[in-house]
Amino acid sequence: MKVLLNSSEMKSCDVSTMMLYGIPSAVLMERAALAVRDAAVEHFHPENVLVLCGSGNNGGDGFAAARLLMDQGISANVLFLETHARMTEQCQLEEEIFRRCGGQVLPDDAILSGYDLIIDALFGIGLSREVLGRYADLINAVNRSDTPVLSVDMPSGVSADSGQVLGTAIRADLTVTFQFEKLGQKLFPGAERCGKLLVCDVGIRNAVPCHAGFSAASGSGSPDQEISPVYTLEEKDLPALLPRRHADDHKGDCGKLLIISGNTGMAGAAILAAKSALRSGVGMVCVLSHPDNRLAIQTAVPEALFAPWPADLSPDSAGRKQLARWLSWCDAAATGPGLGTDTFSLKLLTAFLQSYKGPVVLDADALNLLAEHPELLPLKRLSDPVSDTATETDYGGISAVITPHPGEMSRLTHLPVNEILADSIHTARSCSWKTGLTVVLKGARTVVTDSTDTMLNTLGNEGMATAGSGDSLTGIIGALLAQGLEPFDAAQTGVLLHAMAGDRAAAVLGTRSMKAGDLADFLPEVLKDIRF
C-alpha cells in the first residue's frame, strides 16, 4: 500500500517535519536537489543542462540542483522566469548561492537549443491556476523541442491534486518527486505527462495525518468526520486482503452468490459475471435470469445453478415467493449487468430491493433504473445540493457497493461527465458520503471509497476498456461479499484482483486483443500462488 498525497497534505508533511524534528527547510531542499542531480546524471548523462526556475521553493530546488551539477563539472545554466520580488526566501537564498558559485542566470528570451537536458523547476506541486502568458509560451517551446526533460516534483502545468492540465503542461521524460507520490502523478492526464516517476527519500519524517472530512453539500471539511489520504494498492497487498480458506472448508463455507442478470438476448453479461465470481473463490453461484438464457448460461457455466425470472412478482404470488427463497439462500447478491430497463426489469429490481437486506453489488442497468427511480433506494440525495444529513437509516440499512462508470455516475448525480472526470475522487467521496454506500467509480483510474477511506487503483491497462469488463468486476466483488468481506474491503480487493487479471491477460495477449472473458480466464494466474 502506498499513500498518494495532494498538495496540501504534502505541504503539511513538510511543515510538520521542520516543526517536530527541527530539520531546516534548507536541509530538505538540499536533499531534494541532490536527488534531482543524481537522477539527471544517472538517467541522462548530460554535459550541458538548462534549468527552468520559478519563484517558489520548486525554483529553489532548481537553483540548488544547477549548482550541484556544476560541482560535478557539468555545465548548468538557469532560466528564471519571474521577478525577484516574488521569490520565496529559500529560493532567493539558493539563487544567491548559485550566482556566488559562478552560475549564470539567462535572460527571458534565451534560446532553448544547445542543451542535452532541460530540468523543469517552474511550479512543482503548488500550481492552482491556469498557466498563461510567457510561462505558457516557455512550456510550449520546451514541448516542441527534442531535448529530454526532467521535472522536479510535478511537470509544470499539471495539478498535483487532480492530474488535470491547467492550460498547458510540460511533457516530462522523468519526474523526480519527493517522499510520497502525488495524486496528480497517478490521475490522467497528468500520469502521462510525468514520464517515468522516481520517488526519492529526502528525510521527511512524519506520518501522514488524517484531515478534515467531507460535507456532501459543499465538499468542505466536516468536524464530525475524518478522512484518510488516498492510497493505492500493490500486488503484494493482495494476500492479506483475500478471505481465508481452510483445509476442511466445504462449498457452503465459501459463500453463496445470487446473480440477478441477463434480460432476453443479454445472457453474455450474466455469463461473464458468473465465471468471474466462480474464479474468485465463491462456493456456489446461482444465476437468476430470463428463461430464454437457460441454455446459454448452463452451457457456458455448468458450475452455476440457474433460476428463471418469475413471471409474476405481485405480492403473495408464486414468483415473489420463489424470489424470496433465493434471497434467503444467498450470502450476497449482485444485480444489474444485462438487466435491462423495461417495465419487468423495474418490477424485478423493486421487488429485490424491497425484500433483500444483505450485501449487494449494484451495477449497470440497476444503476440506470435507480437514476430514473431514485425513490427505490432512495438515492434522491445524490442530486440534492443542499442536503448533507443522510444517514444509514435513510437508506434502510442496505449494505451495498455501487459500481458506476462516469456516464452512469452522471445519470445518478446529474453532474456533467467532464466534471466527474476532472475530479473523480471528490465525486466518488461525495456520492458515498451522501448515500452511505461504498462507491466504485470505474475508469482508467478507478476510485473505491466509503467516504472515509479511499483507494485509487493504479494497476490494469487499456485492454480492459472493452464491453463486459464491468460485468466481470461485478461478479468478482459479489463473490468476495459472499465470502464475508465487508463492502469496502470487497470492493477494493475486487478492483485489485480485476486489474491484476487484466495485466496478466495483457502480458500474454496484448492489450488490443483482450476481451472481457479473458479476465476470468486469467484470475487463476493471479490467485494460484497465493499462500496464507
Helices and strands (H and E) in the chain: how many: 19, 21
Reported as a single tens digit per residue, the pLDDT across 404-463 is: 999 999 999 999 999 999 999 999 999 999 989 999 999 999 999 999 999 999 999 999
The secondary structure element, H or E, covering residue 410 is: helix 406-413
Task: Give the orientation angle of helix 57-71 with respect to helix 89-100, to 10 degrees.
Answer: 20
Reported as a single tens digit per residue, the pLDDT across 260-292 is: 999 999 999 999 999 999 999 999 999 999 999
Contact between 260 and 33 (Cβ < 8 Å)? no
Write out the three cell numbers for 244: 481465508
- Span 155-170, average pLDDT: 98
pLDDT band of residue 390 (cuts 50, 70, 90) is very low
Query: What is the dihedral sign for C-alpha 324, 329, 331, 334?
Result: negative
Q: Given this model, what pLDDT does residue 528 score?
A: 93
Q: Is the pTM of this model over 0.85?
A: yes
Q: 438-441 and 447-449: which strand pairing? A: antiparallel
Reported as a single tens digit per residue, the pLDDT across 208-251 is: 666 666 544 444 444 346 778 999 999 999 999 999 989 999 99
pLDDT band of residue 85 (cuts 50, 70, 90) is confident
The percentage of residues in the chain with a pLDDT greater than 90, rounded to a whole number, is 86
Nearest residue to 257 via CA among 237, 242, 245, 275? 275
* Mean pLDDT (the chain, rounded): 92
User: For residue 397, is pLDDT > 80?
Assistant: no
Report the Cα–Cα distance between both ends of the chain, in Å, rounded. Answer: 18
Q: Given this model, what pLDDT does residue 379 score?
A: 59
Q: How far apart are CA 396 and CA 377, in angstroms?
A: 8
Q: How far apart are CA 463 and CA 528, in angstroms?
A: 23
Reported as a single tens digit per residue, the pLDDT across 503-512 is: 999 999 999 9
Q: 48-53 and 454-456: which strand pairing? A: unpaired
Contact between 188 and 424 (Cβ < 8 Å)? no
Q: How far apart are CA 300 and CA 223, in angstroms?
A: 52
Partnered with residue 120 across adjacent β-strands are 52, 151
Burial of 381 (0-12, 13-18, 19+ CB in 10 A): buried
254 DSSP assignment:
G
Which residue matches cell numbers 502506498?
Answer: 2
User: For residue 381, is pLDDT > 60?
Assistant: no
Answer with the residue of higher pLDDT: 398 or 153: 153
Q: Given this model, what pLDDT does residue 213 score?
A: 65
Q: Given this model, what pLDDT does residue 532 score?
A: 64
Contact between 309 and 288 (Cβ < 8 Å)? yes
Reported as a single tens digit per residue, the pLDDT across 20-57 is: 999 999 999 999 999 999 999 999 999 999 999 999 99
How distant, in Å, are the alpha carbons of 212, 469, 529 from that of 63? 35, 48, 49
Reported as a single tens digit per residue, the pLDDT across 304-340 is: 999 999 989 998 999 999 999 999 999 999 999 999 9
Partnered with residue 305 across adjacent β-strands are 286
